[in-house]
Amino acid sequence: MSQLEMPTWDQVRDRMNEAVTERGEWAGAPLPIDGFPLVIEPKYPYAGLQGMSFGEQAKEPEEPVDYTVRNSWFCKKHGLTVVLMQEADGRVTKCFLPGSDHNQRATMALNTLGVAASPAWSITAETNAMEKLHALVGQHKFKLYFMTGSFTETSKRSGVTYMFRRLRPTLAIRAVEDNSRILAALCLHPIGYYDRTWGGVMVPTDCVVAHLLLMRSDERRYWSQANQHHPGAPEAGI
């Protein structure tokens, strides 16, 4: 008897995508991978994969909390994330989340490499996405993207310049001659992402295309849908 051959991860991913495509889901199915639980858009048909990771059990439903997060921001001076929480009795309290800024950046970068080395993404899908991006931005910007992983485009409506980056949040920049400044780092994954990484469940250039098209079509919605990270925060990826 010949030994049963196990399928490769590429075959598992492709079969999953074929199955959900047959059901009418154009974006395929997110593939759980070791060590990085999925964070899924609640309206996505396969939102039940939330928290799933091979090698781990799905997260148990969290216990009800008696507070509401009202706001949060990154304090560059002290390297802390400040969170404002409103207690059940109406009191507002502050919570400080400590951590080494550069260590957090390094951890996210290494985790993103771990996702990139995993079976989550298809080279064919990334190639197709890059061909789509080429058609959208033209030769010059695509060359910049191919060589550096980023390109810029200025909105005719707002005058804001956007720096679109592969596997990093998009930078919104108010560009003036002597004092250009970063307004925010806009983080948005159309379907979901892998926790503690900059990697989405779609291939990297698909996320770039999504950012670009949403900015062009509805800039106000783009800002409202994206997480707006302070440029100094580790999540900004600067």
Per-residue confidence (pLDDT) for residue 22, from 0 to 100: 76
Residue 59, pLDDT score: 47
Rounded-to-integer distance, Cα 71 and Cα 82, Å: 8
CB neighbours of residue 231 within 10 Å? 18
Q: What is the pLDDT of residues 86-109, one digit of tens each?
A: 887 888 887 776 655 677 788 888
Query: In the prediction, which pLDDT does 58 show?
Result: 44
Global pTM reads 0.77
Which letter does DSSP use for residue 53 in this model? B
Higher pLDDT, 45 or 167: 167
pLDDT score for 138 = 97
Higher-confidence residue: 190 or 6? 190
User: Coil, strand or helix: which one is 14?
Assistant: helix
* pLDDT tens-digit series, residues 110-126: 988 888 877 788 898 89
Helix (H, G, I), strand (E, B) or coil at 229: strand
Separation between Cα atoms, residue 46 and residue 44, nearest integer Å: 5
- The two tokens of residue 118 are 């995993």
CA atoms within 13 A of residue 209's CA, in its CB half-sphere:
17
The pLDDT tens digits of the residues spanning 28-40 come to: 778 888 778 888 8
Per-residue tokens: 94: 């502050």
Mean pLDDT of the chain: 84
Q: Tokens 């950046």 identify what position? A: 105
SS3 30: coil
Q: What is the pLDDT of residue 1?
A: 42
Question: Distance between CA 105 and CA 57 in Å, rounded?
Answer: 27
So what's the pLDDT on residue 57? 45
Q: Which contiguous run of DSSP H or E holds residue 13?
A: helix 9-22
Task: Indicate whether 69 pLDDT > 70.
Answer: yes
Q: Which segments of 77-198 does DSSP mark as H helices, in order?
A: 101-116, 123-148
Strand order in the sheet with 67-75: 67-75, 80-87, 92-97
How is residue 200 annotated by DSSP?
A: B
Residue 173 CA to residue 159 CA, distance in Å, equals 9
Whole-number CA gyration radius for the chain? 20
